[in-house]
Amino acid sequence: MTSTPRTVPEPATEPADESAQQELALAAFKPQPLSRDDGPLYRQLTTRLRGPIRDGRLPPGCPLPREADLASRFGVSLITVRQALRDLEGEGLIKKRTAKPAIVAVPQARSKPLEFQSFAAIAASSLDRRLVIRSYRKEQSALACESFGLAPGTACYCLRAVLMVSDRAITQTTFYFPPAIGSRLKRADFDDVVVFRAVQRHLGIQLSRAQIRVRAEIADETLARVLGYELGGPILATEMLYFSASGEPVELTVSKNRGDEFSITYDAPNDLL
């Protein structure tokens, strides 16, 4: 009896076009052994891999080289390569795939920076925005009383509004005014998306500075509903207390910004020279 030879299936391979793309991607990374003297290897590798993605040499959808090829290219371990790829995925630059090399991700819309260097920069952050006013009335707020130096339980004037981009809500904002200021304002006076600018114009008060506090929160059920956002989604919360030229607090602005729409930008001068 003769036996029939068994056919051994060929190992799965990447499609020819994807293999060619991987070769081109590998060529985009200049061979450069890394040294621990220059810091953690995975951070150095992340920087080397980030460059061709950021400058467009590797377009969205392009597969990256295999992990083993990257390890050989830069003289590092697979553990180092995988950590670098995790960092790139965390930055939204690549998308990992099961049993396949990662691919370059489609760029996401960048969040709008909140700039606090000056009043002009704060105002510029509201360009192309629209303020939808919900109410203007007296309300009690422990935070407002503390900020304005008022007795607990004092009712302050409160403007509640939502900041819109086109027809999409991105920020829930509450503006508080001490009684002496709020009583001189009416709802129709808030005719500017930059409320502190409207206050200056209508009351003739010159603002001199602002104290700013930033913190991270998550969207509760009410805020998620107002902003059309996911429950528990990241929120960038800001509290901005504006002062007049005489040093009196004039306005407290509390904003709850969608975390996927905003980031913070600040230029720090070197004052240690």
pLDDT for 16: 52
Task: Specify whether 255 is located in the same domain as 129.
Answer: yes
Who's near 154: CB < 8 A, 6+ residues apart? 140, 145, 179
pLDDT for 224: 94
Q: Please give the Cα distance from 263 to 214 (Å, whole number).
A: 11
pTM: 0.61
Tell me whether residue 70 is in a domain: yes
Strands (E), the chain: 94-97, 100-104, 112-115, 130-140, 155-165, 168-177, 207-218, 234-244, 249-258, 262-265
Domain boundary, last residue among 71, 104, 137: 104
The parts of the chain modelled with pLDDT lower than 70 are 1-16, 108-113
Task: Specify whether 58 is located in the same domain as 165.
Answer: no
Q: Which domain holds residue 26?
A: 16-104
pLDDT for 14: 46
Task: Specify whether 159 is located in the same domain as 220.
Answer: yes
Tens of pLDDT, residue by residue over 151-176, are 999 999 999 999 998 788 999 999 99
Domain boundary, last residue among 104, 138, 155: 104
Tell me whether residue 11 is in a domain: no
Task: Specify whether 46 is located in the same domain as 160.
Answer: no
pLDDT for 111: 56
Q: Are strands 94-97 and 262-265 parallel, antiparallel or unpaired?
A: unpaired
Q: Please give the Cα distance from 152 to 149 (Å, whole number).
A: 9
pLDDT for 52: 87
CATH of the domain at 202: 3.40.1410.10
pLDDT for 6: 47
Q: Nearest Cα to 92, choosing from 265, 263, 266, 225?
A: 263
Tell me whether residue 201 is in a domain: yes
Q: Please give the Cα distance from 261 to 236 (Å, whole number).
A: 9
pLDDT for 11: 42
Tens of pLDDT, residue by residue over 246-262, are 999 999 999 999 998 88
pLDDT for 109: 55
Tell me whether residue 2 is in a domain: no
